[in-house]
Amino acid sequence: MRVATWNVNSIRTRVGRVVDWLVREDVDVLAMQEIKCKPEQFPYGPFEDAGYEVVLHGLNQWNGVAIASRLPIEDVQIGFPDMPGFLKGHEGPDLPKEARAIGATVDGVRLWSLYVPNGRALDDPHYHYKLDWLATLAEDTRRWLAENPHLPLALMGDWNVAPLDSDVGDPSLIPGVSTHISPPERTAFSAFEAAGLTDVVRPLVPEGYTYWDYKQLRFPRNEGLRIDFIMGSEAFADRVAGASIHRNERKGDAPSDHVPVLVDLTDAPSDDEDEDRPMIFG
């Protein structure tokens, strides 16, 4: 099974590019972020013509997440338990939930499409919302894997965190000033490794960015960020046979500022195969 994630930055603007790429790369399942539309506005037709079913969560012209699959989609879940909400200028437990998370099971694999809050600035309430959002998701991840240690689980999407210094090529990001690279954000990201997940792409693709700002010729200068990740459980990571970052999708007419990240999964191993299968989890 070929699985990918892509912050498409408005699916109505880029539906042709996205569907063409899905067909050309023979992708089975795509997690999308920043679809920027309500369900009734989503361009289902081109996906359906190409053989894909789509489930999505979108509330307005901001945010929005979706999963497209040419395999049956089961157990769709909008948001994760206790997911924090946000409303500028307000505090409390009952703030409106944004369209940032959708989960589904495809061929026995539990997949989430996630659009982690940006954070905006270190002194902005959105930054604290981001940290709360990540902490809650990490706690839910620990619980999911404690309940089912053999669950093939992947959290995929735009994490809005560059966890390593080597993930940062954009000179506008300044330590101590900018979001995405602050120690609390990086600690929040590392909590997912402690919860039982690993970046399944980095062992196979150690270098490469996934995002380049539209401004200041960031892409031609390769001044990007690596902020799009597929974080997999051990049962998921054990099945990863290949991975790639599709940098060329940042080229051409009206590209997204992000590019797809893709992994190939082998079939679920039988008990006899478990000990012989090479592992990237660790």
273 marked as binding residue: no
pLDDT of residue 275: 52
The residue annotated as part of the active site, out of 115, 127, 209, 211, is 115
What's the domain count of the chain?
A: 1
Specify whether 158 is catalytic: yes
Tell me the pTM: 0.94
Residue 278 located in a structural domain? no
The residue annotated as part of the active site, out of 57, 129, 228, 258, is 258
Give the three-state DSSP class for 196: coil
Give the three-state DSSP class for 41: helix
Instruction: Give residue-wise pLDDT tens across range 228-277.
Output: 999 999 999 999 999 999 999 999 999 999 999 999 999 987 655 555 54
pLDDT of residue 271: 58
Tokens of 38: 């309500």
pLDDT of residue 92: 77
What type of residue is 275? E
pLDDT of residue 17: 97
pLDDT of residue 269: 72
Are 42 and 36 in contact, with CB atoms under 8 Å apart? no
The residue annotated as part of the active site, out of 28, 158, 167, 199, is 158
Domain of residue 103, residue span? 1-263
pLDDT of residue 94: 84
Residue 132 located in a structural domain? yes
75 marked as binding residue: no
CA 93 vs. chain centroid, Å, equals 25
Distance between start and end Cα atoms, the chain? 22
Question: What phi and psi, each to the nearest 5 degrees, are found at residue 175?
Answer: -55, 135
pLDDT of residue 230: 99
pLDDT of residue 268: 84
Residue 12 located in a structural domain? yes
Element (H, E) at 74: strand 73-78
Residue 53 located in a structural domain? yes
The CATH number linked to 24 is 3.60.10.10
Residues of the chain with pLDDT under 50: 277-278, 281-282
